[in-house]
Amino acid sequence: MSSAKLMRVGELAKVVGKTVRAMHLYEELGLLEPAARSEGGFRLYGQDAIERINWIVKLQAIGFTLAEIQGFIADFQHARTGRDATARVREVFAEKLQATRDQITQMRSVENDLLEAIEYLDSCTTCTPVYTPSSCGVCDHHGHHPDHAPRLFAGLSRKNEHKDFDVPVEDLTRDGGTSEN
């Protein structure tokens, strides 16, 4: 590769939309290697560095940390065979896929809760302004039933009841009540 096609670290950072510090961090972690050094000792990177950084960015977007990326690169490079190397990467990707599917399931539940709350609250836009917010927790207008508000709204609209404590406040210390003044 001719030196005319190589970029210094600042140029590379600009091309990929990262900071020079990020480039140095990637190199420190073994995620990126310069293709060469200039006569003055500057790191020089080729097109493959852009592709590598884009790959790292994609893995981070999927949810991998730099430490995880570093780990499975090391596992891959130090595997005895290509078969062992790819099996480990497959295992890591399968774990991430399952975690992603779990997050999707959780987010669908959140989406349903939000849709339910918004649908419930849509009817509140036509409510008369004479009611106070404390009335919302026991609302029986516009098809609402007292104490049957969606979970997301119910927590907001219910009155905050103060409870008495079994232990005096002065006994509540980090060391179990043995602190000395």
End-of-domain residue from the set 46, 64, 82: 64
Arithmetic mean of pLDDT, 26-55 = 94
Q: What is the pTM of this model?
A: 0.65
How does 88-116 read in b/e, with b if 16+ C-beta sit within 10 Å?
Answer: beeebeeeeeeeeeeeeeeeeeeeeeeee
For 77-100, how does the pLDDT look when each residue is reduced to its tens digit (9 = 90+)? 999 999 999 999 999 999 999 999
Could you tell me the residue range of the domain that residue 143 belongs to?
A: 99-157
Q: What's the domain count of the chain?
A: 2
| Burial class, 50, CB count within 10 angstroms (exposed 0-12 / middle 13-18 / buried 19+) | middle
User: Is residue 85 in a domain?
Assistant: no
Please check whether residue 93 lies inside any domain of the structure: no
